[in-house]
Amino acid sequence: MKPTGRTALLVALHLSALYPLAHAIWDYHTGGLSANPIEDITRRTGHAAIVLLTASLAATPARRLTGWSFFVRLRRPLGLYSFFYASIHLMIFIGLDFGFDWELIWLESPKKRFIVAGLAAYVILLSLALTSPKYMVGRLGAAWRKLHRMVYPASIFAAAHFVWLVKGDKTRPLIYAAVIGVLLLVRLFPWTARSRGS
Amino acid sequence: MKRSARYIIPSSQITPENAYLTRRSFIKSAGLAMAAPGLALGAAGEAAAAKARAVEDPTLYSEIISYNNYYEFSQEKTAVAALSHDLVTDPWSVSVEGLVKKPRKYDIDDLKKSFGAEQRIYRMRCVEGWSMVIPWDGFELGRLITEVDPLPEAKYVKFTTLLDPKQMPGQRKSYFAWPYVEGLRLDEAMNSLTLLATGIYGKELLPQNGAPVRLVVPWKYGFKGIKSIVKIELVAKQPVSLWMNTSSAEYGFYANVNPNVDHPRWSQRTERRIGDLRRVRTLMYNGYEKEVAGMYKGMDLVRNF
Ligand code: HEM
């Protein structure tokens, strides 16, 4: 890819990744949030987190399909943006939804499997974000690669979180789960796995 | 205002809509969290929270008509109002039938004329953990049931919503076994709290709130309040509601508000009043214990959830 193409792709990435946040702030100031604003922003940030996580999973298959190695460079910012939204999502849950009432959070959460799955996904995203700086890659070596493969279970946990929290018709979360499933499965096929691990 | 003290808040105490400014400004300050999530509910938030104490104030009309669970139109609460806008609610008739001596099909205008409407301000607690305070206009269901004269075999009342996939896009999806069905035990239906509502805030019910006529059972979770009713049947056996049919482990026949019976997704110990950001404790039978607890004496409320 030409350098201008790369720049355009990076700019597009940052703009689209920041869009949900900008949109939520805009809606907040213009009365565009729902009558239950905490639920609204919980959903928006959760949604942004899973979309960005899915996009980061698509980087490697996209490289293999197109041969453009540049796609892999998008993986890290996409993953970090996903972590960014997941962090806001969790802070809304703890601080706004439950008003830092830890006793109530402890009473409510362990029995709810969608929360347990969300927490599992978050803990993985957190450890990946903490080890994402370039110098960590060199320092951890092979362990870094192993650790960062944990993004696969993280995405499965995130999909389970979404499927379990929807009441009634689960078509929407199941579509996300299916896309994540496909992105994980294509990694198993040798024809797409020319240069594993890079 | 003391919350458990009265179940019918007199209409003289409905706050005019402009008196909500304090609540609005609380949302503004707490909403700073939007920009800086970690800073939510600092000292400023607490002070504003104190000002916003009146959780029993009726919910704003604009909120009541824009935030609706009505799966016949959409699973997205904010999408229902627009999608239901063109629902034809006149002509409309409600058939009251089954185990009764005098079955009758009521034209909606006749129904309104013969039973009139009084205002009742009730809390409405959704199973999703949010709640509203709604000034309904309607009449006691018991009066209608008395008029059709139930036979001694009648033990339950079964309600059915309009089935019309042309007007109700959600019904085109087959995930749910449409139409929506709900049920009450006869004594629950005859309880003087149980209402057939035809209006809110003195205005005719809008489609998103269940026009032209819906059920209101304030001590039960909101989904029991079946909307846009076309049929009311007196039956001998306990009806199977749409939600029981969809997921019997999560939704029982009684669905009485009960902070001690958990739900796999939402907190039932606490709830958030629409218009306020903090959680408040959920009350047994949604605060209507005095009026309804007698009906469930000796019943295992965990098994009969
Ligand atoms: C401890 C961690 C987490 C907690 C406590 C949590 C909590 C929640 C809550 C309370 C909801 C709203 C449920 C409802 O409205 O009924 C939600 C929705 C959601 N969360 Fe999480 N979450 C966590 C982590 C995550 C992570 C890591 C992701 C994705 C990477 C995520 C993605 C989502 C999605 C996609 C939704 C639904 C959005 C929609 O309805 O469009 N969550 N979460």
pLDDT digits (tens, 9 = 90+) for B119-149: 999 999 999 999 999 999 999 999 999 999 9
Across the A:B interface, residue pairs with CB atoms under 8 Å apart total 87
Q: pLDDT grade, residue A93 (50/70/90)?
A: very high
Q: Is 60 exceeded by the pLDDT of residue B24?
A: no
Closest residue to atom 39 of ligand 1, CA basis: A43
Quick one: which H or E segment has residue B107? strand B104-107
Question: What is the A162 CA–ligand 1 centroid distance (Å)?
Answer: 7
Q: Is 60 exceeded by the pLDDT of residue B8?
A: no
Quick one: which H or E segment has residue B272? strand B270-273
Go through the domains of chain B in sequence order and give each one's CATH number: 85-296 (3.90.420.10)
Instruction: Specify the ligand 1 atom closest to the Cα of A47.
Output: 35
Q: pLDDT grade, residue A171 (50/70/90)?
A: very high
Q: pLDDT grade, residue B243 (50/70/90)?
A: very high
pLDDT at residue B9, rounded to an integer: 41
pLDDT at residue B179, rounded to an integer: 97
Three-class secondary structure assignment of A28-73: HHCCCCCCCHHHHHHHHHHHHHHHHHHHHHHHHHHHHHHCCHHHHH
pTM of the complete model: 0.84
* Cβ contacts of B34 on chain A, cutoff 8 Å: 24-25, 28, 41
Q: Establish whether this prediction's ipTM goes over 0.90.
A: no
Q: Render pLDDT for B228-240 as a digit per residue (tens, 0 to 9).
A: 999 999 999 999 9
Q: Is 90 exceeded by the pLDDT of residue B94?
A: yes
Q: pLDDT grade, residue B19 (50/70/90)?
A: very low
Q: Is 90 exceeded by the pLDDT of residue B304?
A: no
Question: What is the A50 CA–ligand 1 centroid distance (Å)?
Answer: 9
Q: Which range (A146-150, B54-58, B169-173, B293-297) has the least confidence?
A: B54-58
> Which of A42, A96, A128 to mutate for ligand 1's pocket (most ligand atoms within 8 Å of CB)?
A42
Cβ–Cβ gap B279/A88 under 8 Å: no
Q: Cα–Cα distance between A94 and A42 in angstroms, integer?
A: 11
Q: Is 80 exceeded by the pLDDT of residue A102?
A: yes
Q: Cα–Cα distance between A122 and A125 in angstroms, integer?
A: 5
pLDDT at residue A194, rounded to an integer: 53
The 8 Å CB, 24+ separation contacts for A161-165 are A161/A114, A161/A115, A161/A117, A161/A118, A161/A121, A162/A46, A162/A50, A164/A113, A164/A114, A164/A117, A164/B264, A164/B265, A165/A114, A165/B265
Q: pLDDT grade, residue B41 (50/70/90)?
A: very low
Disruptive mutation site among B69, B265, B266 for chain A (greatest number of A CBs within 10 Å): B265
Q: What is the mean pLDDT of residues B52-66?
A: 82
Cβ–Cβ gap A167/B265 under 8 Å: yes
